Structure 1
Amino acid sequence: MTGLKAAVIGCGDVSTVHFEAIAKLDGADLAAVCDADPARLAAAVAAYGVPGFPDHLSLLDAVGPDVVHITTPHNKHASVAADCLGRGVNVIVEKPLAHTLREGSRLVEAAKASTAKIAVCFQNRYNATSQAMHALLSTGELGPVVGASATVFWHRDADYYRSRPWRGTWEGGGGGLMMNQAIHTVDLLQWLVGDVVSVSGNASTRFLGDTIEVEDTAEFVAVHANGARSAFYATLANAVNAPVTLDIVAEKATLSLRGDLTVTYADGRVDVVPERVVESGGRAYWGVSHELLISDFYSRLGESGPFWIDAEEGQKSLRTVKEIYRQSYPDAVDRVS
């Protein structure tokens, strides 16, 4: 990996961790930034000392980047990523894959037709705890998975949505809590337990109804391809951002994630896997592993085949979330399409 040019499209909040990761890469340099908001664009140009562009097409034409990081509002993910892939530019896109299933499918097809790679930022798969859980379950030494459960008890207030109004809308965000916060945990459930083959759930607005048009609370029960069942509950009405919980019950052990991972074996043994601690200018609830995902993606650019968290992989959690919306809002087809 030598002399690669990176660009960041969308200079809002989460772009912070992408800029940090690019700065730490060997053989890659930030070459340009892009944002439709003049103030954010000017701030990024001043902070990073690179050219700035008000739209992504002009950036692609002028700079010819090797990798583009897409950190825009959700409803721009698929269109910007498809334009990049169509020009053979590699893409790292923040979650979710897209704000609608139609756009997600469009991006899946664009990725198949491109010579470039795409990664979706489900960075929590790189957590030390997630990697340990996956390794233990993959060996088969714990026996079959019986079931799982997960919770996301977080807090968001009206100011969070007022500061970025797209977040609280179907058009801008494609949904609320499930698309913007809890989709990471949905992804971990399906990655660790198995693909979701059916789901029954509900999404509702219990706390922020005077501020947003999307949901702030949701629950579901899912059946996975191996027959295991998982139960899930998430809300933004909690007083604080509590640690995400994820419990997986296998025949010979129970894996319990509460920040660190505790593995309790049927024979009485207990192992603890601590999570890494990383200093970052990003928010704590973004996790500790953006840098690992981004570095891994760049290191694999010379390999054949897709990146392991590609568009098709990103579509899985999107499909589950949109099915919950379909069940919760049967008269609003545009919210699930």
Structure 2
Amino acid sequence: MLNPSNEWLHALIGCGRVAPTHVDAAGYAAPLRLAYAVDTDPEIAGAFAARWGLAPAELDQVMADAAVRSVSICTPHDTHPDLALQALSAGKHVLLEKPPTLDPDAVLALAAAARSADRLVFPITQHRFDPLVGLVRDLIAEGHLGALRMARISLECVRDPAYYGASDWRGTWAREGGSVLMNQGYHFIDMLMWLAGPVVRVEAMMDTLGNREVMETEDSLVAALQLENGALGTVAITGAAGSAWSNVIELMGDRGIVAFDLSTPARLHRLELTSKKALKHWRSAFADAQKTNEIPLGVSYYGVSHREQFRALTGAVEGTPDPRAATLEQAAEAVRVIQAIYASARGERGSTSASPLTARA
């Protein structure tokens, strides 16, 4: 067992948009201590390290350092699998930003590599740790919604041309792997399946409506889904209109309805239950869950639950796994559904390997 005096070092690989959120979260995850900042651009690594009191380092340096027992990978999407495999080969545990890879089979290969190395790879799904989301999951587990009938996801996530123009990987199929669905929508697909079950059928349309001069990927997408339990669902995402971050996830059963968001702080939008006694109890519980004074250090809508995800890593290393943490196998299914949605939107037919899910044009 580890103890608070037996700290281990952690390195941050990639000093971009989400990196400050990892700096913040690492401060809540003793005995882990964030020590190094790594980036392909030494000047960026140096400036970031100076800002946050870290040491700039080269990738090979942290991989060779036995005192560095874990890393955060916060780099462009297409670089995730190679960096994660390199870290596993060096004996490191990995916190891997979403999506873990752009190919579901590559996610499963990464899971096999982690088992072989006897190391942990945690795909980042921080909203699973949101207190309000935990209550939604309990509400469903206790049967208060009854049989699920409908699910709805709506997300506005406006990104202007400067957002895509600031990097050479965003807005490209080869490197980002898709935009508003793969990048901003990933958490919502993961959340839907974690709360409501597997997706078995998809039909979709997508377009680029607002940023065609700076991106080849989609900035707007709609999809219809069927879940394994028979429920139907819709997904509507746009980065071409609306606000920078506005969203709702709504689950409708034959005994109740719950709607909530993945914002900071998370909010309950709707709660209806057939049991008046249960409704009174759950309204009080949700009201308490929405009371928070926690302030994100990084981008506001990333929230503060990376802190819990970091603690889940240290807990798992100590032998006390957190059931809220996503597995790579679950992440592979999220990527598989996303790729099936894209295939349907492109007019392709057929099914993905090792999955009953079918993408329909």
| Same fold, judged at TM 0.5 (above) | yes
Farther off after superposition, 311-320 or 82-91: 82-91
Structure 1 pair 238–306 and aligned structure 2 pair: CA distance change class (3 A): same
Find the partner of 1:20 among 11, 16, 24: 24
How far did residue 277 of structure 1 move?
A: 4.6
Q: Within 1, Cα distance between the matches of 2:63 and 2:322? A: 22
- Structure 1: gaps (5+ residues): none
- Number of the residue aligned with 1:188: 191
Residue 264, structure 1, aligned to residue 272, structure 2: yes
- The corresponding residue for 1:201 is 204
CA separation of 1:240 and 1:277: change in aligned 2, threshold 3 A: farther
**How many angstroms does 1:29 deviate by?**
1.3
Partner residue, 1:287:
303
Instruction: Give CA-to-partner distance per residue, 1:51-83, whole Å, 9 cap, x none.
Output: 3233x3332113541111111111111111111
Q: Which amino acid aligns with 1:314?
A: A
Name 2:344's counterpart in structure 1. Answer: 327
Aligned match for 1:216, one of 216, 219, 225 = 219
Match of 1:302 among 270, 295, 318: 318
Shift of 1:305: 7.6
Work out whether 1:311 is the aligned partner of 2:328: yes
- Say how many residue pairs are matched: 333
CA distance in 2, matches of 1:325, 1:201: 7
- Does the Cα contact within 8 Å between 1:150 and 1:233 map onto a contact in 2? yes
Match of 1:173 among 176, 185, 189: 176
- 1-structure distance, mates of 2:150, 2:182: 24
How far is the alpha carbon of 1:100 from its aligned partner?
Answer: 3.0
Task: Kindly report which structure 2 residues correspond to 1:246-257, keeping only aligned pairs within 5 A, or say none.
Answer: 246-257=249-260
Paired position in structure 2 for 1:43: 47
Runs of 4+ in 1 over 4 A off after TM superposition: 304-307
SS at 1:198's partner residue? strand
Change (3 A) 1:245 1:305: closer
Judged with a 3 Å threshold, the aligned counterparts in structure 2 of structure 1 residues 306 and 130 are, in CA distance, closer, same or farther, namely closer
Secondary structure, counterpart of 2:123 in structure 1: strand
Alpha-carbon distance in 2 for matches of 1:49, 1:287 = 22
CA distance in 2, matches of 1:34, 1:277: 31
TM-score by length of 2: 0.85
Matches within 5 A, 1:14-163: 14-54=18-58, 56-62=59-65, 64-163=67-166
- Whole-angstrom distance in 2 between the partners of 1:28 and 1:297: 9
Amino acid paired to 2:335? L
* 2:294 corresponds to which of 275, 278, 289: 278
- CA 1:284/1:49 → structure 2, altered by over 3 Å: closer, same or farther? closer
* Deviation sequence 1:122-174 (CA, Å, 0-9, x none): 11111122111111111224322112111001211000111123111112211
Instruction: Tell me the alpha carbon deviations over residues 260-281 of structure 1, each in whole angstroms, 9 at most, x when there is no partner.
Output: 1232112454626243452122
> Structure 1 residue 213: deviation in Å?
0.7
8 A Cα contact 2:153 2:249, kept in partner: yes
Amino acid at match of 1:225: E
Normalising by structure 1, we get a TM-score of 0.91
CA distance in 1, matches of 2:37, 2:129: 26
CA distance in 2, matches of 1:132, 1:50: 37
Shift of 1:330: 5.1
8 Å Cα contact 2:151/2:252 also seen in 1:
yes
1:241: how far off? Answer: 2.4
Offset, 1:176: 0.9
Instruction: State the alpha-carbon separation in 2 of the partners of residues 52 and 14 from structure 1.
Output: 17
Structure 2 gap segments, 5+ residues each? 354-361
CA RMSD of aligned residues (A): 2.4
Structure 1 CA distance for aligned equivalents of residues 346 and 312 of structure 2: 39
User: Residue 24 of structure 1 aligns to a residue in which SS?
Assistant: coil
On the 8 A contact 1:31/1:51 being kept in 2, the answer is: yes
Residue identity opposite 2:192 in structure 1: L
Question: d(CA) in 1 for partners of 2:332 and 2:12?
Answer: 23
The 1:17/1:305 distance shift into structure 2, 3 A limit, reads closer
Q: Distance in 1 between matches of 2:28 and 2:135?
A: 25
